Structure 1
């Protein structure tokens, strides 16, 4: 009994104290940068910075079992949110251009923002982010452990780098608990910055550039007078295929567009043993990265009698989980287009549709962060390149927070009608103006 209590206490201490080391120099093929710009007034300790990287002792078996359960819970929440978000994005952009987003980038940004939410705003974000059944302490601990496991990579062919930072106006004040949780669980670097300095945007952008291997060069164009905080998450991903494509096998082949038109495009070809799944609607293959295949690139190809729109409508968390169990090893041939694309979108409408409308309004409650804050804009940028060697990708998510002013009771007015005036008689039920006049000299 005493040993069990000690083990539980030790587990809680490790989760709260160490979180996840995001400062490690790994990399993975999905770069994402998350930006949170905040408005208001505050003071942040300039000496606060990311917690030092720490080596945790080997956990005991009971902790390992709980960790697996923990990771599954937060990963499931993130995936559910990711599919909902992707579905909303497709509604606005899916039929017109390439869509490529980083749900993890957006989820991490909003998870850190969630630490400042209270009341009905927190409840709305809980539902949107699929965080039901978890309290704030559990959510943060789960994120910390999951991020630590993501970064636990020893494969030379797969790189992963995750970093968080908080850039605060040197005259702005935030709740100390909010800042501390951002450091403890998300390992955010906390820095004061003179937002009036013309070089402030480049200071932030240089950090972003460094932590995305140069794929995201700019996330802050300028700092508005009412902005007080930028909360940034950066993820960089780069992975080489377990079996790279032979460049000599790459040739021009037709690619059929949704318009019915076709274009000649460089296509990579390969045959081998793959994890493969097929049903009446699509073919699907998993192309692994690195030596152990811990990360894979999944391709879902609609069949001739179907189309991308029909497939997209069936793409949700439940179906995805079911499909993942259907993959089996099978020999085959694959021809894949070599491609590179960039994408950007403002996610306000998508997030509002998913239930977060209050967070964007004057009713927003981010009292856990500071006074009178609301989300103004969530912007998302991505880059991806797939070639014979592997995949490289980057994403930037900018969550802007603005200060909202409290409504004040209007002062009693004085109206002295002692000069020419206009008047009208209006039927308020129909809105009809029955009479209208200009009185310049009362008789």
Structure 2
């Protein structure tokens, strides 16, 4: 969870007013895959960044994790693209396939054909949710590490589409935006108010061991990092009370998010990846990482989601209604293992609509998870 919070903090420092959708799992798997080919300080810094430096038999563990998650409604796929003529060490290729399921594929040398092939692979690996991952291949590309995750979760308690209707979402104290709001009168929901953080927390379970946990600050002016860093995750499972019939409103939405991660990861202590890393377990040639791309999408709809220290806690039951009608944080958890598959914040579920002043508001018109992560290596 620490890596997830570090990642979200750095991303939101760049722009805290935009929607953010990340897959810490996808990015961590891509970084650990890279660590497979790294040595000395480069390997050490990679594992420290994802807080797995003290985990014994790390790659065996992650391999088992991938297989276990794949048994659920989560699809994981990896691939290694190689420039023709690049001499890659056989052990790296063998271990890539053994631990990460990443089969090596040769680039044709035609940028147009290679770009089409890569985008087609990502599209298939994400069940069509990310049809165009790359607009162009990074210059001087000699190797690509690709990782894609697709999650399709079905609510244990579905929303009835007949009750979905136009409503408003409060952007801040002054502005609202029109959205299609999913509604239920007696939705079985486990939720509570965490008074120490001035937030409401609810858990919308999917079929299986995955849940959509939302954290809704009462104040419009809040910092995601401050909310998340002191949040009692380890106690979370014990904090949720029994489900009770609740009036629920949740925005129906489809959001896309794309990010170049080089600056973010540099801020997290991985500057050397982009200058002079030790990747001698991949190749004897001098390589460095020239680009790290991450793209994700989140769709909330009636049948589900598709895509992707000691703490003193005061809890109180709240009113009999839970409304996701203001900015919120979300985490999609694999509950049995406690792994965050996706994390993010929704500031505006309908960014294409024009915000309206609250006093002038009018009710309007109509709103899968999948994640690829790319490493591009350049031969200097």
Same fold? TM cut 0.5 = yes
Residue 298 of structure 1 corresponds to which residue in structure 2?
A: 213
Aligned length: 313
Could you tell me whether the CA contact under 8 Å between 1:168 and 1:191 is conserved in 2? Answer: yes
Q: CA deviation at 1:317?
A: 7.9
Q: Aligned partners of 2:224 and 2:31: how far apart in 1?
A: 28
Q: What TM-score, normalized to structure 2?
A: 0.78
Residue 222 of structure 1 corresponds to which residue in structure 2?
A: 136
Residue 83 of structure 1 corresponds to which residue in structure 2?
A: 5
Residue 367 of structure 2 corresponds to which residue in structure 1?
A: none
Q: Structure 1 residues 315 and 238, CA, compared in 2 at 3 Å: closer, same or farther?
A: same
- Structure 1 residue aligned with 2:159, among 214, 238, 245? 245
Structure 1: which 5+ runs fail to align? Answer: 1-78, 154-158, 405-443
Structure 2: which 5+ runs fail to align? Answer: 308-369
Could you tell me whether the CA contact under 8 Å between 1:99 and 1:343 is conserved in 2? Answer: yes
- Paired residues for 1:104-183 under 5 Å: 104-135=25-56, 138-153=57-72, 159-183=73-97
Q: Aligned partners of 1:215 and 1:313: how far apart in 2?
A: 32
Residue 233 of structure 2 corresponds to which residue in structure 1?
A: 320
Residue 282 of structure 1 corresponds to which residue in structure 2?
A: 199
Determine whether 1:206 maps to 2:116: no
Q: Aligned partners of 1:272 and 1:201: how far apart in 2?
A: 46
Could you tell me whether the CA contact under 8 Å between 2:289 and 2:377 is conserved in 1? Answer: yes
Once the two structures are superposed, residues 330-371 of structure 1 have per-residue CA deviations (whole angstroms, 9 ceiling, x without a partner) of 312211111111111221222111111122213x11111112
Q: What TM-score, normalized to structure 1?
A: 0.67
Residue 329 of structure 1 corresponds to which residue in structure 2?
A: 242
Q: Structure 1 residues 319 and 307, CA, compared in 2 at 3 Å: closer, same or farther?
A: farther
Residue 60 of structure 1 corresponds to which residue in structure 2?
A: none
Residue 368 of structure 1 corresponds to which residue in structure 2?
A: 281
Q: Structure 1 residues 81 and 317, CA, compared in 2 at 3 Å: closer, same or farther?
A: farther
RMSD of aligned residue pairs (Cα, Å): 1.9
Could you tell me whether the CA contact under 8 Å between 2:77 and 2:148 is conserved in 1? Answer: yes
Q: Aligned partners of 2:204 and 2:36: how far apart in 1?
A: 37
- Paired residues for 1:372-391 under 5 Å: 372-391=286-305
Residue 359 of structure 2 corresponds to which residue in structure 1?
A: none
Residue 353 of structure 1 corresponds to which residue in structure 2?
A: 267
Larger radius of gyration: 1
Determine whether 1:396 maps to 2:349: no
Q: Structure 1 residues 308 and 385, CA, compared in 2 at 3 Å: closer, same or farther?
A: farther
Could you tell me whether the CA contact under 8 Å between 1:302 and 1:311 is conserved in 2? Answer: no
Once the two structures are superposed, residues 224-272 of structure 1 have per-residue CA deviations (whole angstroms, 9 ceiling, x without a partner) of 5621112211211111211110112222222111262112322111223
Q: CA deviation at 1:322?
A: 2.9
Q: Aligned partners of 1:132 and 1:308: how far apart in 2?
A: 36
Q: Structure 1 residues 133 and 321, CA, compared in 2 at 3 Å: closer, same or farther?
A: same
Residue 22 of structure 1 corresponds to which residue in structure 2?
A: none
Could you tell me whether the CA contact under 8 Å between 1:93 and 1:99 is conserved in 2? Answer: no
The SS at the match of 1:328 is coil
Q: Aligned partners of 1:204 and 1:347: how far apart in 2?
A: 19
Q: Aligned partners of 2:160 and 2:116: how far apart in 1?
A: 40
The SS at the match of 2:239 is coil
Could you tell me whether the CA contact under 8 Å between 2:5 and 2:225 is conserved in 1? Answer: no
The SS at the match of 2:212 is strand
User: After TM superposition, where is structure 1 displaced by more than 4 Å over at least 4 residues in a row?
Assistant: none
Residue 29 of structure 1 corresponds to which residue in structure 2?
A: none
- Paired residues for 1:266-277 under 5 Å: 266-270=180-184, 271-277=186-192
Residue 264 of structure 1 corresponds to which residue in structure 2?
A: 178
Q: CA deviation at 1:396?
A: 2.5
Residue 100 of structure 1 corresponds to which residue in structure 2?
A: 21
Q: Structure 1 residues 400 and 319, CA, compared in 2 at 3 Å: closer, same or farther?
A: farther
- Paired residues for 1:30-69 under 5 Å: none
The SS at the match of 1:243 is coil
Could you tell me whether the CA contact under 8 Å between 2:107 and 2:114 is conserved in 1? Answer: yes
The SS at the match of 2:21 is coil
